[in-house]
Amino acid sequence: MSNLHKALLTASVALLGLNGCGSADRPEAETASTTRQGVEVATAIPLPIPACALLPDTDGDAVCDAVETLLGTNPNNPDTDGDRLNDYAESFGFGGGLDLTALGANARRKDIFIEADYYPGLQPTQAMLNRVITAFANAPVTNPDGSTGITLHVVVDQQIAAADADSDLSPVWTDFDVIKGKYFAAIRAPYFHYMLFANRYSGGNSSGISRGIPAHDFVVTLGFIGGGTELQQAGTLMHELGHNIGLRHGGTDDSNYKPHYLSIMNYEYQFYGFGIGGLNNVLDYSRVRVSAFSEAAVIEVTAFAPAAPTTEADLAKISGLRFNNVQVVGNASTNLDFNGDGIIQAGSYARDFNRNGVTTDGYPASQNDWLALVYDGGGQIGFATPGITQDLGREDLYLVAPEKMEPCLTVDERDGR
Ligand SMILES: [Zn+2]
């Protein structure tokens, strides 16, 4: 919390004669990935901000123009950074588990909040979560504060009691809602996605499912293979979250396995990620646009062509590419061994990439996923009334215990969408 915020909050408390419970003496802002539990249950900050009470508030976000000027937020836009979390919520928070400010929210940089609950034995590790948090931090997305990236906040909340840990969520959303109703505080709904690490759904072998596109709920169901590897968990989390924020298996469409769609939303990459910047297994949504591509005219030497504003140099940074479930050598710009035969062929050939039995499919230019994200959770998230004063009424201890990761098995049908 900045000194300015502290001063404003202290002034608010003093003016209203409050005892300061849960407001001016709140903890310092935590890091984006910090798990936070046992949150103090307290009355939230009252509204309007006293210093603002008689002053103009052009955008109606409960932060008056004068304070917005001090904060550097836009007095004409209630959501300065465009993440659907309003400037009041991000600048002042509400206390009692909704204290987005203490959780690290920034009204001038995009934030996404997730509450995570988990079945016994499926507690997400910080190392796993950090793979996804890092991917969002590295997003090619600009912010009003001049930074790039998105801050992903994963609040690991609590373990689902064994008696509630339905081994097969079926029908998935009916059974999911029973758990969500018991373990997710409804007051968080306008701000948080809800994620459940569970065992299985609908009797199948799918790794997870999103409740629509876009949406605010998703499940990662790797419990039936012992939990999966760290990479499988992180990749699935990011894939299902991708559906929550508007991405489809082909980016803008449902066409899976498009060879030039370089995103973890493409099944080819969900469990593997990419080679980027000398690192392997880097999770990423598509950060490039690739020109239209034809199965009938594959040329390994020239690989893919960039679509503006993407450049050949951008494509050259991406390796670890996969086609027909095989990782091949080369990068997206040049000398890419599409058929995995170990030879970079000079000529052109035809190949079936999307596994439909023909080699004649053409694909339109791919999208840059990061610039296409939808932050409203399918209409659920964002622009809730500022200044709600409620508490969560529960204080569940977050127990830190290392999880044993079982060897992974291949999940053939990775996703229900
Ligand atoms: Zn999917």
Q: Is residue 412 part of a domain?
A: no
Number of structural domains (the chain) is 2
Is the domain of 235 the same as that of 318? no
Q: Which tens digits make up the pLDDT trace of 196-230?
A: 999 999 999 999 999 999 999 999 999 999 999 99
Q: Same domain for 300 and 222? A: no
| Residue 156: Cβ-neighbour burial (10 angstroms; 0-12, 13-18, 19+) | buried
Domain that holds residue 291: 260-372
Cβ pair 154, 135 in contact under 8 A:
no
**Considering the domain boundaries, does residue 255 fall inside one?**
no
The answer to whether position 413 is within a domain reads: no
What's the pLDDT tens digit per position in 79-106? 999 999 999 889 887 766 678 888 999 9
| Gap from CA of 241 to ligand 1 centroid (Å) | 9
Banded model confidence at residue 385, pLDDT cuts 50, 70, 90: low
pLDDT level of residue 159 (50, 70, 90 thresholds): very high
Query: What is d(CA 165, CA 10) in angstroms, rounded to the nearest whole number?
Result: 43
Are both 213 and 105 inside the same structural domain? Answer: yes
If you measure from the C-alpha of residue 250 to the centroid of ligand 1, how many angstroms do you get, rounded to a whole number? 10
The answer to whether residues 239 and 280 belong to one domain is: no
Question: At residue 30, does pLDDT exceed 70?
Answer: no
Q: Which strands form 279-282's sheet, in the order they lie side by side?
A: 279-282, 274-276, 318-319
55 vs 250, which has greater pLDDT? 250
Count Cβ atoms below 10 Å from residue 60 Cβ, excluding itself.
9
Q: Based on the domain organization, do 122 and 41 belong to the same domain?
A: yes
Q: What percent of the chain shows pLDDT beyond 70? A: 79
Task: Report the CATH number at residue 163.
Answer: 3.40.390
Contacts of 42 (CB under 8 A, 6+ apart): 21, 22, 23, 95, 96, 391
Q: Is the separation of the CB atoms in 270 and 235 below 8 Å?
A: yes
What is the Å distance from ligand 1's center to 205 Cα? 13
- Supply the pLDDT for residue 20: 26
Tell me how far the alpha carbon of residue 89 lies from the centroid of ligand 1, in angstroms: 31
State the distance from the centre of ligand 1 to the C-alpha of 209, rounded, in angstroms: 7
Residue 194 domain-assigned (yes or no): yes
88 and 220 both lie in a single domain: yes
Q: What is the dihedral of CA 285, 268, 256, 308, to 10 degrees?
A: 40
Instruction: Tell me, yes or no, whether 415 lies in a domain.
Output: no
Query: Strand 111-118 and strand 151-159: pairing?
Result: parallel
191, 100 in Cβ contact below 8 A?
yes
Q: Do 21 and 106 belong to one domain?
A: yes
| 243 Cα: distance to centroid of ligand 1 (angstroms) | 7
Asked whether the beta carbons of 218 and 240 are under 8 A apart, the reply is: yes
**Burial label, 384 (beta-carbon count in 10 A; 0-12, 13-18, 19+):** buried
List of residues 6+ apart from 221 with CB closer than 8 A: 169, 198, 199, 200, 201, 206, 207, 208, 209
Query: Does a structural domain hold residue 251?
Result: no
Q: How far is residue 6 from each of residues 43, 53, 111, measured CA to CA in Å?
A: 17, 18, 21
**What would the DSSP string read from start to end of 357-379?**
S-S--EEPPP--GGGS---SGGG
Look at residue 95 in the predicted model and tell me its pLDDT.
66
Question: Can you tell me whether residue 267 is helix, strand or coil?
Answer: helix
Q: Residue 249: count other Cβ atoms within 10 Å of its Cβ.
A: 22
Percentage of the chain lying above the pLDDT 90 cut: 70
7 confidence band (pLDDT: 50, 70, 90): low
Predicted confidence at residue 49, as pLDDT, reads 67
The reply to whether 273 and 182 lie within a common domain is: no
Whether 231 contacts 273, CB under 8 Å: yes
Q: Please check whether residue 123 lies inside any domain of the structure.
A: yes
CA of 308 to the centre of ligand 1 (A): 27
Q: Are residues 291 and 163 in the same domain?
A: no
pLDDT band at 3 (very low <50, low <70, confident <90, very high): low
Residues 200 and 293 in one domain: no
Spatial CA neighbour of 232 closest among 206, 211, 250, 214: 206
- Specify which residues 158 forms β-bridges with: 117
Q: Is 118 helix (H, G, I), strand (E, B) or coil?
A: strand
Q: 218: CA distance to ligand 1 center in Å?
A: 11
Please, are residues 41 and 390 in contact by the beta-carbon 8 Å criterion? no
The candidate with the shortest Cα–Cα distance to 300, out of 267, 255, 347, 253, is: 347
Task: Please compute, for residue 315, the number of CA atoms within 13 A of its CA located in the half-sphere on the CB side.
Answer: 24
Q: Is 146 exposed, middle or buried (0-12, 13-18, 19+ CB in 10 A)?
A: exposed
pLDDT of residue 188: 87
CA of 415 to the centre of ligand 1 (A): 5
Residue 331 domain-assigned (yes or no): yes
Residue 417 pLDDT greater than 80, yes or no: no
Tell whether 213 and 264 lie within a shared domain. no
Tell me the per-residue pLDDT of 310-347, one tens digit each, with 9 for 90 and over: 999 999 999 999 999 999 999 999 999 999 999 999 99
pLDDT in tens, 239-290: 999 999 999 999 999 999 999 999 999 999 999 999 998 999 999 999 999 9
For residues 149 and 26, state if they share a domain.
Answer: yes
274 CA to centre of ligand 1 in angstroms: 17
The model's confidence at residue 5, banded by pLDDT at 50, 70 and 90, is low
C-alpha distances in angstroms, 209 versus 95, 222, 406? Answer: 31, 11, 22
